[in-house]
Every structure is written in structure tokens, then in C-alpha cells.
Amino acid sequence: MVAIDIPVQRAQVENLYVEAMLLADEAHAAFAAQRDLGDLGGGALMQIGLACESLKTTTRLMHIIAWLLHRRAMFAGDPGAGPHDSAARIGAPLAADWDICAGFQTPVRRIIAASERLFDRIAAIEAGWASPPTAAPVHALLAQLEARL
């Protein structure tokens, strides 16, 4: 990690943390409202589907928040938070079953989709931070010039 990247990464983590916490609050409210209204058109099977997708979405958001909190701890220099800890990896995505989600209200479907997009963004950021920085094209040209001299 290049020292100049740390403030940018810290800002990314803070912004994503706020976004994840807001989405978690929205998810809680939307799933509770969908359950309370009881207007799922598939009866008990749709209620079970709602419960499963609620758990998947909550788990997805918990993984995101845990990853962000771990990154915050790493930036703060917490000796218990290292880059090789299990919490330092976002892991594999837990995909929603969109055949079941099609029967949910629009706000619930939007939140499920938003949680999947946020997870994908975190995974892409993690992959980008883990890959070694690529040399700028100008550095490659300078190396070629140095080799000729």
C-alpha cells in the first residue's frame, strides 16, 4: 500500500460505512413493513421466501459492515486487525434468489439489489487494493530510455 493511498482509502471506507449503515436501516424497515403488511401473494411459501431473503440481505450487509469496520481498525493501527485476518476478506457473495424476490414489493427488491451492488463494489475495491500497483506508462518509457543509455 502506497502511503498516499491511505487517506483516499480511509475516506472510501468511511463513506461506504455510512452507506452500508443507512442501507441496513432501510433493509430492517422495509422487511419489517413487508412482513407486517402480510400482502405477499403466495401465502406461507412467500413468507418463508421473504424470511430467507431477509436473512441473506442481512448477512450480506453484516459482511460488508464487518469488512469496513476491520479496515477502519487497520487504518487506526489496531494491533488485532491485520491484513491476513479472515475479516480482511469480503469473501464470496451470497446471491439473492430473484425468482422469489419478484413477488416482493419494489422497496424490498430495491434494497436487496442495492445490497448486492454494494457487496460487489466492496469486492472490487478489495481486489484493487490487493493487486500490486501498475507502473505508469511514463515509467515504462523511462526504463526503456535508461536501458538504451
User: Containing domain of residue 116, as a range?
Assistant: 5-148
Beta-carbon contacts of residue 145 (< 8 Å; ≥ 6 apart) = none
Q: What is the mean pLDDT of the chain?
A: 87
Report the alpha-carbon distance of residue 59 to residue 126 in Å, rounded.
19
- The continuous run of DSSP H or E covering 80 comes out as none
Confidence at residue 132, expressed as pLDDT on a 0 to 100 scale? 64
| Residue pair 40/104 in contact by the 8 Å Cβ criterion | yes
How many Å separate Cα 77 from the centre of its chain? 22
Is 80 exceeded by the pLDDT of residue 7? Answer: no
Count of domains for the chain:
1
Report the alpha-carbon distance of residue 129 to residue 118 in Å, rounded.
16
Q: pTM, whole model, 2 decimals?
A: 0.80
CATH number at residue 107: 1.10.8.930
Higher pLDDT, 147 or 58: 58
Confidence at residue 133, expressed as pLDDT on a 0 to 100 scale? 62
Among 6-10, 13-17, 89-93, 128-132, the minimum mean pLDDT is found in 128-132
Beta-carbon contacts of residue 64 (< 8 Å; ≥ 6 apart) = 16, 20, 90, 115, 118, 119, 122
Report the alpha-carbon distance of residue 53 to residue 109 in Å, rounded.
10
pLDDT digits (tens, 9 = 90+) for 96-135: 999 999 989 899 999 999 999 999 999 999 888 766 666 6
Residue type, 62: M
Report the alpha-carbon distance of residue 137 to residue 81 in Å, rounded.
35
Q: Give 149's pLDDT tier (boundaries 50, 70, 90).
A: confident
User: DSSP 3-state assignment of 56?
Assistant: helix
pLDDT digits (tens, 9 = 90+) for 19-33: 999 999 999 999 988
Confidence at residue 147, expressed as pLDDT on a 0 to 100 scale? 86
Confidence at residue 4, expressed as pLDDT on a 0 to 100 scale? 44
